[in-house]
Amino acid sequence: MSEFALEIKSLSHVFGSYRVLDNINLQVLPGQIVAVVGPSGCGKSTLLKAILGTHPPTQGEILTDGMPVRGPNRNVGIVYQNYALYDFMTAEKNVSFGLKLDETSLPMRFLGPRKYFAKRRQHFEKSRAFLHQVGLSDACGKYPNEMSGGMKQRVAVAQAFIMRPKIVLLDEPFGALDEAMREDLQIMLLRFYQENLIAKREGRRPEYTILMVTHELNEAIYVADRVIGLSRFHTQGENGAAIVYDRPCPVFRPDDPRDFSKFVEQREELRKAVFDETFIKDRNDYVTFWRELGNLADSVASIKK
Ligand SMILES: Nc1ncnc2c1ncn2[C@@H]1O[C@H](COP(=O)(O)OP(=O)(O)OP(=O)(O)O)[C@@H](O)[C@H]1O
Ligand SMILES: [Mg+2]
């Protein structure tokens, strides 16, 4: 097992003669919730598709849990903005469908029905546990047309996590939801993060490693423990967008007040470094995550001495 849930090495992507992404390097630890922000068209979805394995990068390598990504695989899950569920399946069936495809087959159903139905029972149990996890215990038997947009997004999140991927990609997952729904789902992610902390404390591998694209800077800093910014506004911007911002951000607990004034400074720094086209800087000026993490670890170690 690798130390990193996700590792991106020297990734570049070109469409025709247009270089979208230039030399992206990124390492994500298990249990991190990383927000990705950047101007529209800078290549955020292109990067996610490369990680998912559906659209390989022109150059570079992507590893999940130390294994090279060579196509869509079980290590990576994704939830889009308008994620489509199967209309003819209940929430419970939608969530367990991936396991059905993965762990059962038609011959098994007819040749070993007892084993097949035992397996399916297990899948439904797991499905209910994950629906509970996303706050939908009461909606297991509901069909998509009986659920709100926010509920459907939750089902999609449960569907992704039930496969126990090493990392889940969220591409503007809450973009189409109203404010209250959006807040609810943000709190769901904060709850996942708390579970990660408990797992780490108990020496287990944290379950929820997430890379989330969002255009909402408050959401990015509020939900994530680390935020990266993709942008062409750096000195070699003609070569494509680079990671021009990578810093830790404050961690909120689910029951903390949503006090965005706590990180006004970081939000303005992020806005300037990533979105201000008149502010051209070296691509590494705001890429300080690992250094800051090291300092943090040092200071904790010195307190303990
Ligand atoms: N299949 C494709 N063929 C050619 N160009 C493409 C293709 N897909 C994306 N592009 C271009 O690559 C660039 C990055 O697109 P991408 O969708 O990754 O941006 P994004 O950061 O996700 O934008 P948004 O915030 O609007 O979702 C854009 O200029 C887009 O026009
Ligand atoms: Mg996009």
Every domain of the chain and the residues it spans: 6-75+167-304, 83-164
Q: Which of 11, 17, 21, 45 to mutate to test the pocket of ligand 1 (most atoms within 8 A of CB)?
A: 45
Ligand 1 centre distance from Cα of residue 74 (Å): 25
CATH 3.40.50.150 applies to domain 83-164: no
Fold match, 6-75+167-304 / 83-164: yes
Residue nearest to atom 5 of ligand 1 (CA): 15
Check residue 304 and give its pLDDT.
45
Name the amino acid, one letter, at 209. T
Residue 170 confidence (pLDDT) above 90? yes
Mean pLDDT calculated for residue range 280-297: 89
> Is 35 strand, coil or helix?
strand
DSSP letter for 151, please: H
Q: ∠ CA 84-48-147 to the nearest 5 degrees?
A: 20
Which one of the ligands is nearest to 275 CA? Answer: 1
Mean pLDDT calculated for residue range 227-244: 97
Mean pLDDT calculated for residue range 178-198: 91
Query: pLDDT digits over 1-59, tens only?
Result: 678 999 999 999 999 999 999 999 999 999 999 999 999 999 999 999 999 999 999 99
Q: ∠ CA 228-230-236 to the nearest 5 degrees?
A: 130
pTM, whole model, 2 decimals? 0.91
What distance lies between CA 87 and its chain's CA centroid? 25
Check residue 305 and give its pLDDT.
47
Residue 194 confidence (pLDDT) above 70? yes
Mean pLDDT calculated for residue range 62-70: 96
Q: Which of 14, 17, 18, 20 to mutate to test the pocket of ligand 1 (most atoms within 8 A of CB)?
A: 20
CATH architecture of 6-75+167-304: 3-Layer(aba) Sandwich (3.40)
Average pLDDT score over the chain: 92
Please indicate whether residue 1 or residue 243 has the higher confidence score (pLDDT): 243
Whole-angstrom distance, CA of residue 21 vs CA of residue 159:
30
Cβ within 8 Å of residue 38, ≥6 positions away: 44, 229, 230, 231, 241, 274, 275
Other C-beta atoms lying within 10 Å of the C-beta of residue 110? 9
Residue nearest to atom 7 of ligand 1 (CA): 15
